[in-house]
Structures are given as C-alpha cells and as structure tokens.
Structure 1
Amino acid sequence: MTATAEVAVIGGSGFYSFLDDAEQHTVSTPYGEPSGPVSVGSVAGRRVAFLPRHGGHHEFPPHRIPYRANAWALRALGVRQILAPCAVGSLRPELGPGSVVVPDQLVDRTQARVQSFVETGACHVPFADPYCERLGDSVQQSAPDVVRGGAMVVVEGPRFSTRAESQSYAAQGWSLVNMTGHPEAVLAREMLQCYTPIALVTDLDAGVEAGAGVSQEEVFALFAQNLERLRTMLADTIAALPDPDGCSCSGWAQGVELTYALP
C-alpha cells in the first residue's frame, strides 16, 4: 500500500486543528467510525495526518473515545509514527502548569475500555516500555525545556480525582495524571507504530494543590494558551523524526503470529 501519511498527530483537549491546506480523509474501520475525518497535509516535507482525539467539537468524553477505530484508521493511512499531545494534571509540585513532559512509563487505572485488537488466540504485546524512546528523543531535541521521564497514570474519567486518589498516586512516585493515554498507547503498539505522548501540565492535581480542586475551565484555558507553542514544537519534532525502520515498536511482531488483521 502506498502510504497517505507517514506521521500522525493526535490532538488533545482544545487541539482541534493543526494542518493548513489539508485533505480530508473519511476512514471506515471494523471498529466503527473514528473520532472524525483525518486531515492530511505536509509538514517539513513529510506527509502528516491529524486526528482530534475528542472529535472536531469535543463530542467524545475520554471514556467514550473510539480508541480502536482511531488507531486502525491511522494505520490504514500508512502512519508509522504518532505524536500525541495531551492535557495532564501534575502530581509533583515542581511540574507546574505550563510544563511539558515526555513521560517514559504508563500506569493503567481505567476500568471499562476495550484495550486491545486481540480477540482470540495467544498474542501478547510487550509493553514494559510503553513509549518510543526514539520519538521521545526527537521531542526533547526539538524543545530542550521539555522534561523527560516519569510515570503517567491514566484514570477512567470523566470526573477528576479525589484528593485521596491523587495523594495515593503521588505516594507511588508517579508524576502525571491523565484520562486519554490508555488504551491509545497500547493500540499503537499493536498496530506496530512508534508512539509518544507530549504531556502539557494544565493544573496541579487535587492532592498537590491546597485550595479548590481541578476545574475544567482552567484545564481548557491553559491548554489554549499553549496551542501555538505545541504547534511549533510538533513541527520542529516532525522535521527531525528518525526513520522508523528497525525500531522495536514494530520489530516486536517479528516471529509472532498476530491474531488480528493489520489494515
């Protein structure tokens, strides 16, 4: 298949567009419709797909996002590398609002999401290191102020954490809390794609902040204030992305009989 796009950006809360002069692609999948049409355009000489995670008008709350359809649609367009900006709460006081973090670990605390394309047989994806190190390196090289490392715990949502929950996560040594990073990351691994989140801290989570808890208004407002910064960071990262050939994100499937179909 001739790839329509090599790289994808999945936009988070408030990040509903990225590309100028883009072509719109409607992709039907065996897992239903994705969050919306996929825009494809050029960035730094590369063909780039953009998909708003929550839909073009934030139709999908975090627990209802069609994660499998999104992952399948991007693979069907030929995407092999995914950059995934997302809004996160901080569990560490030194990571204040406006910090950008590329975490290296994920903790799943979701409850009701289908998190795999595997529906039959033995096919176990390695996930000890959930994110692509080479993509993370590219982000950091393009934006030296990015904080590298830390664990992101993904909760079911759509509610924010209680203080007790937030304090418990922080006590485990985890750095960030988010609602959309899982199963997005593991589905990308099953689709043999390189994937990294780019986590923008929008708030100090309830266990860190002494005052009122987190509000939707402050999350959306902080993300909006940093959109141009994220767009610049993404464009610079895309220009410097490594060749995905030879990466373990896809190499894990060599010699493994996949029990699901790749598009």
Structure 2
Amino acid sequence: MSTVSSVSTVSVPAPVVSRTAASVPDAAPPSAATPPAPAPETPYSRNRDRYKELINIIVNDSGTYSLDGQMKAFAETWGMYVNGALVIGDDPSTKYQDDEATVLFDKVFNSTLVQRMNQVYDNLVNAGIAAELRGEPGSISKLRYFSSLSEDDQKLYYTSQNGFDMSGNRQYANFDSFRNQLVENAQAQAAYIVKNPQAQAAYKNTDPGLAEALKTIESAKAGSGWSAQILSLFNVIGTNNPEPEPGRMRLTLDVKPSVPGAYNPGNLLDRVA
C-alpha cells in the first residue's frame, strides 16, 4: 500500500452564507401583511360622533349644561333612534359598533336625567291610579296633579312623553301645546260626565260645576301662572276625595310602579305656590 493511498481525506463542508432577498437581484420582495378590510359604513357610524356629543350632555351631572339643554339632547337622541340614524347593520364586522352603541344606550338609560324622568312619570301614574279609585276622572286628576308639579318636573314629563306619530313627526309642537292638550282632555271629560248619567254615577265624586270651571282656564298663561290658575280652580271647585275602599287600597299598592333607588328628587317635586 502506498503512503499516499493510506491517508484518509476529510470532506470540509462549504460555509453557509445567509442571503437576503435584497442580495439576490431576481428575488421577489417579501409580501406585507394584508390589512383588514374596513367595516362597512352604517347609519350608526355616520352619526356616531354626534350621538356621543349628545350623550355627553345627557350624562353630565356637573352643572355644565342646563336642564333644558339636557332635555333637548335627550329629545334629539330619541329622534335619531326613531328615524334610523343609529342602525348598526347585519355585517359581522360591525359588531364592535353594536357593542359600543349598547354601552352608550345604557349610559343614557342610567343617567340622572332619565331617572328623574322615570320618577316624575311614576309619581304621576300613581296619583292617577289613586284618583281613579276615589272616583275621580283620569284626565281631570292628571291635569290637577301635573299642575302641582314644578315647571322643571312638568318639562321632564313632557320630554318623556313627546314621542312620534305615524308620520314620524313629534306629537306636540312644544311644551305649551302639550299643556293645553291636557286642559282640553280634562274639559272634554268633564263635559261628557255632565251629559252622561252613567258617567255621573261612575264619577259621583266629581263636582257638577267642574266642566264650566275648566272652560275658564287661560291657555296663554306661561310658567307658574298657568299652573296657579288651575290649582286655584280646583281649590274652589275641585272634587271630593274620600278614601278608597280597603280592597281598592291594596290594589293601588300592588300596581304602583317601582321607583329607581338611585334617584334623589331634590327640589324637583316642589309644589307651585
């Protein structure tokens, strides 16, 4: 065996050279991540900024906004709901909008303003139930109780009740037209009782002179003057107020709406002097 052939050779691998795409002229550049498609536009996404502005007014308890300003903001959001300005859409990619809208709606529902509206409404309903059980006509008792509220309370009730008719228009043009409608309802009911013996039997506690007295209400009076004339009328004419029978009293308690625990009436239920 020759010396040369008896020496084994070792194969040394070539060094690994890392090359980027840039170092290879013909290599294609790396593809960037495809951005997600934007969520489709919806009525809500178009009106979201204005909706948030209104909600910030409604839920603000610092006194920055007047009560009238907050009620106007509430009325505008109501109109947005009814007129389809806050519709989300059916595409799954709009779910985040749906979640956001739900949170904002809850903020409105739990706001001090809406709790105050609910309290005024509940109190007025309870007064109406008790009056009916005493034999007092509903429209008449509603007018009397509404007149006993402070003007702020009256406006809160008006705002919560001024919905939309079948044509999409608000039911009442303004606060005064709403109050005057209450008067007209009471006048019509009193006139009906005077002419209907069965109604007289059902509402035996209604003073027969009430129909004529209600005609004297001046709708042009504003503010506390409007309320004062009605309260004065009821003090002079009014109706008798016997206590309900025991069984009926139980019914009154059973149907009484719940009152929000977080609501603090403050001076909202002050009576008009």
Flag whether TM exceeds 0.5 (same fold).
no
Looking at secondary structure, tell me which structure has more strand per residue.
1
TM-score by length of 1: 0.23
Q: Compute the TM-score of the two structures, normalised by the length of structure 2.
A: 0.23
**Structure label with greater radius of gyration:** 2
Counting helix residues as a fraction of each chain, which structure ranks higher? Answer: 2
**Greater relative CO, 1 or 2 (CA 8 Å, sep 6+):** 1
